[in-house]
Amino acid sequence: MQRSRNSMSSPPEIAIRDEIKSEDLEALFLGHTLDCLVVRNFCEAGLCAKLSKYFLNHKDIVWYLNDEVADRDVKVDGKTEYRSLGVQRVGPAFNTTYNDDEDNTQFKKYLREKDIFWRDLRNFLGDQTSPMERLRLDLDELFVNRVNIANVKGKKAFSGISRITRAENSVPGEEPHIDAVPKDIELTNQFAANVYLEMPDCEGGELRMWNTDPFILQDVPAFCMGDYNVGDANHCSYKPADGDLVLFCTRRPHAVGRFDKGVRVSMQSFVGLTEDEDLVLWT
């Protein structure tokens, strides 16, 4: 039965595990009986600290701009630019390729930056495997259907961006929002896979989720953040620990609590469910 987006009376269902299990992946991606899957210690402490330091000191940190948030676009010298939700990134973001020109200039830049990201990170890690590459292997082995890096215009997309939020920039993240790719990319649902490398040692920084039906693309313009409040009957929060993997549906409203000190560092990939019920990964 299709659940009404505004009639949920219970918080999202969260499963906390010590390893990825096939039945949990099926419940999350296909069965609609699980709203959030947490795998504790997916990335061991030493690797978390090593990667967090790497990304926090990276020479290519830039703002993660969001072109889907109302009232965040501004005109600069006659061109439209977008403001950030307080998040910085290392690695290319697929939304920079939206509204590309006929020569696919932004998409070609995205691919170049993808290659540089993985070349440098693999050189840095040596014989260690990044948590996002491990996740892709685990999904491929454990999910009942096919799992692939998304293919866009005949090229493999990037999957594994690093996201950085510092305490002084954490307030905008409290705005409930949804994430959905443009309508020309055909998916039936969209999820996020976040591996948390460093979390602030204070109150805040938690993932906030609201239990609704996933928004279909046609309904995305009608989304109103004011309809979702902390303390609602259909709301819950989970504060990840360093090393946690968290998978959840991004077409449901979600947000991140502000924090007063420290930093929140993660590696992230979107996970799309296709019409054939396969999974595709990109960021």
Which tokens belong to 145? 């259907």
Q: What is the pLDDT of residue 83?
A: 59
Average pLDDT in the 247-273 region? 97
Model pLDDT for residues 144-164, shown as the tens digit of each residue: 999 999 999 999 999 999 999
Give 6: exposed, middle or buried? Use CB within 10 Å, 0-12, 13-18, 19+. Answer: exposed
Q: Is residue 87 very low, low, confident or very high in pLDDT (cuts 50, 70, 90)?
A: very high
Which tokens belong to 13? 């269902």
Model pLDDT for residues 47-86, shown as the tens digit of each residue: 999 999 999 999 999 999 865 444 444 455 555 455 567 8
Q: What is the pLDDT of residue 9?
A: 62
The DSSP secondary-structure symbol of 219 reads: G
Give 222: exposed, middle or buried? Use CB within 10 Å, 0-12, 13-18, 19+. Answer: exposed
Q: What is the pLDDT of residue 183?
A: 65
Mean pLDDT of the chain: 90
> Residue 136: is its pLDDT beyond 90?
yes
Is 14-58+130-282 assigned to CATH 3.40.50? no
Decide the pairing of beta strands 161-166 and 14-17. Answer: unpaired
